Amino acid sequence: MRLSSLFARTPLASLLGCFATALAQQPAPALDQILSRVEANTEQYKATVPSFLCDERISSQEIRDGKLKHETTVEALFRVSRSAPPAATLEESREVKSINGKPSNSKKLDMPISFNGGFSGALAKFLSADRRECFDYQADPSSPASPGTQAFTFTAREAAAKQPACVSIQPGTAGKFVIDASMQVTHIERTVPHPIGKDQAVLGTASVDFAPVTLKGRSFWLPSTIVAFTTETPKTNAFRFTAKYTNYHRFAASSTILPTTSDSTQPQSR
């Protein structure tokens, strides 16, 4: 039978229904395929994102029993600069403009809690090919996600703790990430044991929300919001860091501002 005669006698609605059914029956990409595409996007970001500037607004808080004990607010010019080859690593720094609404050019911030590494390491540490052996990944259909997105969880693999690529991964690390249809990460978060002094019960959580930003005609997914907090216990207050990033633009000049490149969620001693 010729296809032309078959289509001629088949109602259009039936054809569309069959086509939709066939699409629905196509298997979703396997987890390994999804991870490979996400990892490729991570590598592309690491290799191609240019040096850039953006505005940073920070709120750093100390909290007890749900009540604010202390807060520091900061406005700064935030820089991410690419170091010289062959390393070509991403280095974070900031130029403080004001503290608690008062002009300041201090290079040392006295905040209840600070966080660094959201631009240079948030994805590479948990979603790169050389770290895949360090984690167990699973789809997370129970996690609320926006239409067109998928959520996944990851936990540190105890069996891989001594592998060279995994020695920097803290035992007990767990987290989740959300991707859109293009396999770009829109959200990532991780929780780790975070002892403060002798209090071993404290947990530290950090999350990064990403959004597309155009830099000289090219789109990059960059942080829009970074949140880091530690849990409150009977012995220890809670701490919370929130930073918003806007007004992205490229820059070509080198920077000598003190870098802040570690991935840390660290309350300051007071």
**Residue 144: its pLDDT value, please?**
72
Which residue blocks in 10-155 are alpha helix, DSSP H?
12-25, 31-48
pTM over 0.85: no
Closest-CA residue to 19 (of 11, 29, 8): 11
From residue 236, alpha-carbon distances to 60, 109, 112, 122, 267 in Å are 16, 22, 13, 26, 11
> Which of the four pLDDT bands, split at 50, 70 and 90, describes residue 265?
low
Query: Would strands 174-179 and 185-193 be described as parallel, antiparallel, or unpaired?
Result: antiparallel
Q: What is the 3-state composition of the chain as percent helix, strand, coil, each rounded to the nearest 5?
A: 20, 45, 35
Answer whether the bond into residue 86 is a cis peptide, omega within 30°: yes
Average pLDDT over residues 131-144: 92
Q: Which CATH class is domain 30-267?
A: mainly beta
Write the pLDDT tens digit of every residue in 68-107: 999 999 999 999 998 877 777 899 999 999 999 999 988 7
Q: Is 39 helix (H, G, I), strand (E, B) or coil?
A: helix
Average pLDDT over residues 116-145: 92
Share of the chain above pLDDT 70, in %: 83
Least confident segment among 44-48, 81-85, 129-133, 192-196: 81-85
Closest-CA residue to 191 (of 210, 169, 162): 169
Write the pLDDT tens digit of every residue in 206-260: 999 999 999 989 999 999 999 999 999 999 999 999 999 999 999 865 444 444 4
Of residues 262 and 33, the one with the higher pLDDT is 33
* Cβ–Cβ under 8 Å, residues 175 and 188: yes
**Residue 268: its pLDDT value, please?**
55
Q: Is the pLDDT of residue 28 over 80?
A: no
Task: Give domain limits for the chain.
Answer: 30-267
Closest-CA residue to 260 (of 60, 120, 124): 120
Beta-carbon contacts of residue 86 (< 8 Å; ≥ 6 apart): none
Average pLDDT, the chain: 86
